[in-house]
Amino acid sequence: MHIAVDFHTHVLPGIDDGSQSVAESLQMLRKEAEQGVHTVVATPHFYAHRTAPRQFLQERQEAEVRLRAALAGDPGLPAVVMGAEVHFYEGISDSECLRDLSIAGTEYILIEMPDPPWPERRLRELADIRQKQDLTPIVAHLDRYVRFPFYSRLFEALAPLPVLIQTNAGFFTGWKTRQAALRLLRRGQIHLIGSDCHNLTSRPPDMGLAARVIENGAGMAAIEKINARSLDILKKIG
Ligand SMILES: [Fe+2]
């Protein structure tokens, strides 16, 4: 069984530290297709202190146009929808640009948190994105923080908040983290999965292997649940 949607990727060409060319993007998307992924969310990095939102959106659109022109000649590749990996900053919940950075115009937005610890006010601001902007934060790659002590407390701290949690496929494929990943998934503390792919070598698309680990360790129903949630989030896209 396949994971249908890759929720976190850097497949857009030439916009961040991900794909550096249209050709590389197409190869990455081919890998995604081979692994059964039918929709890929492009989530280039957005840092508010480096780039104005308007400039970012302009650059993203230019990269999208270049990629779509190439995709048109290759109907077997996954659909690509636009999003952003928005690095958290103080005052984010009051920002006027957030809706423009949401995933394909839905009420979901991928947020990259700074390194822990996360003081109470930071967690409150994360929840405020939902309260003030009607956008549900998807907290990116929570497994990134496994190198910090007591990382499982981060899952606990986020559990009561109006957010979803995304982890990377590598959390499931890594032999050191696999059991913890499966345990958190079974407990319902992981909602979405992304490859966070950047290239074909050091950080390639790896959703297929993660799907196999999940199917073996948590059963097909766990993948069905992830797929249903993913499709529900994207259902408004016309
Ligand atoms: Fe990323």
Q: Each residue of 92-103: pLDDT tens digit?
A: 999 999 999 999
pLDDT at 184: 94
CA of 102 to the centre of ligand 1 (A): 15
Q: How far apart are CA 21 and CA 182, in angstroms?
A: 35
CA of 203 to the centre of ligand 1 (A): 10
- Strand 45-46: give its sheet, edge to edge: 45-46, 85-87, 108-112, 136-139, 164-168, 192-194
Partnered with residue 25 across adjacent β-strands are none
Residue-wise pLDDT for 15-47, tens only, equals 999 999 999 999 999 999 999 999 999 999 999
DSSP character at residue 147: G
Q: Which CATH number fits domain 5-234: 1.10.3470.10, 3.40.630.10, 3.30.70.20, 3.20.20.140?
A: 3.20.20.140
Q: How far apart are CA 215 and CA 211, in angstroms?
A: 6
- Contact between residue 85 and residue 110 where contact means Cβ atoms under 8 Å apart: yes
pLDDT at 238: 55
CA of 162 to the centre of ligand 1 (A): 21
- Contact between residue 171 and residue 181 where contact means Cβ atoms under 8 Å apart: yes
CA of 169 to the centre of ligand 1 (A): 12
Tell me the pLDDT of the chain averaged across its residues: 95
Residue spans per domain, the chain = 5-234
Partnered with residue 12 across adjacent β-strands are none
What DSSP string runs through 14-58? TSSSS--SHHHHHHHHHHHHHTT--EEEE--EE-TTTS-HHHHHH
CA of 207 to the centre of ligand 1 (A): 14
Residue-wise pLDDT for 56-95, tens only, equals 999 999 999 999 999 988 889 999 999 999 999 999 999 9
CA of 71 to the centre of ligand 1 (A): 22
- Contact between residue 123 and residue 129 where contact means Cβ atoms under 8 Å apart: no
